[in-house]
């Protein structure tokens, strides 16, 4: 029998409703919306880099590298204190989205570069417009090739949502810590928070792996 001084199920059941609510309303919401922003913005950034003059492309690349190489928590704090009038939740979503967009842009770059030269030659032979070439041939193939890597970044974003606590946004882990601080019971709630993270991220990682294998044979 488990010693109640080490583990008490009553604390688990008492803390679980708030933890599940913050999981759905903060952790999951930031991950989903932030991922959508990152995927769209990342693709836009990569397409932009390929369509502007070289000096402009170098400026964009520098800014992307700056964002990518700066810690996410530093970016959260800077934007939070620079724009105190904006809802911290909105700041969190935007910063997560922009931060991961710089990583996804590099993934898209690799995917676009992996498209066979014959595909480009075929679009030229068919007299396809530049826009049609990108939207109907190049981008679909690039996204298909990079889907597994993009999925891994979504998982990484999900696991970094506890950083939101630095800008006063209470996510699932923050809810667990708040309960632990008020009841002086941390083991139960932190364990449950870890299990919830695992329960959400592990199946997603399996789906990404399955997707990767499926795309490899299609």
Task: Summarize pLDDT for 123-173 with one digit per residue, the tens.
Answer: 878 778 878 888 888 888 888 888 888 888 999 999 999 999 999 999 999
Dist CA 27 CA 160 (whole Å): 9
Give the pLDDT score at 84. 87
C-alpha gyration radius of the chain: 21
The owner of tokens 């990767």 is: 212
pLDDT in tens, 38-88: 999 999 999 999 989 999 999 999 999 999 999 999 999 999 999 989 999
Q: Give the residue from 167, 157, 146 showing the smallest Cα distance to 211.
A: 146
Q: What is the sign, positive or negative, of the torsion defined by CA atoms of 203, 205, 207, 213?
A: negative
Largest interatomic CA distance in the chain: 75
Q: Give the residue from 116, 93, 101, 130 showing the smallest Cα distance to 43.
A: 101
Give the pLDDT score at 171. 93
Give the pLDDT score at 36. 96
Q: Give the residue from 212, 197, 196 showing the smallest Cα distance to 150.
A: 212
Determine how many CB atoms are found less than 10 A away from the CB of residue 177.
18
Dist CA 48 CA 204 (whole Å): 30
Give the pLDDT score at 115. 83
pTM of the model: 0.89
* 120 confidence band (pLDDT: 50, 70, 90): confident
For residues 42 and 107, is the Cβ–Cβ distance under 8 A? yes
pLDDT higher at 200 or 101: 101
For residues 79 and 67, is the Cβ–Cβ distance under 8 A? no
CATH code of the domain made up of 9-216: 1.10.3720.10
For residues 199 and 111, is the Cβ–Cβ distance under 8 A? no
Q: What is the sign, positive or negative, of the torsion defined by CA atoms of 163, 167, 172, 178?
A: positive
Mean pLDDT of the chain: 89
């Amino acid at each position: 029998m488990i010693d109640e001084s080490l583990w008490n199920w009553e604390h688990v059941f008492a803390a679980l409703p708030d933890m599940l609510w913050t999981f759905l309303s903060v952790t999951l919401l930031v991950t989903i919306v932030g991922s959508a922003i990152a995927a769209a913005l990342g693709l836009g950034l990569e397409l932009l880099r390929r369509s502007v003059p070289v000096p402009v492309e170098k400026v964009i690349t520098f800014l992307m590298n700056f964002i990518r190489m700066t810690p996410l928590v530093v970016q959260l704090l800077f934007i939070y204190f620079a724009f105190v009038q904006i809802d911290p939740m909105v700041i969190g979503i935007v910063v997560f989205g922009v931060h991961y967009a710089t990583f996804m842009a590099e993934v898209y770059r690799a995917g676009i570069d992996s498209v066979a030269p014959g595909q480009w030659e075929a679009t030229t032979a068919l007299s396809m417009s530049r826009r049609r070439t990108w939207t109907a041939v190049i981008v679909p193939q690039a996204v298909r090739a990079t889907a597994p890597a993009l999925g891994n970044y979504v998982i990484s974003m999900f696991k970094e949502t506890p950083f939101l606590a630095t800008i006063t946004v209470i996510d699932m882990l923050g809810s667990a810590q708040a309960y632990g601080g008020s009841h002086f019971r941390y083991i139960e709630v932190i364990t449950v928070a870890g299990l919830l993270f695992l329960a959400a991220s592990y199946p997603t990682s399996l789906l990404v792996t399955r997707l990767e294998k499926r795309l490899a044979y299609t």
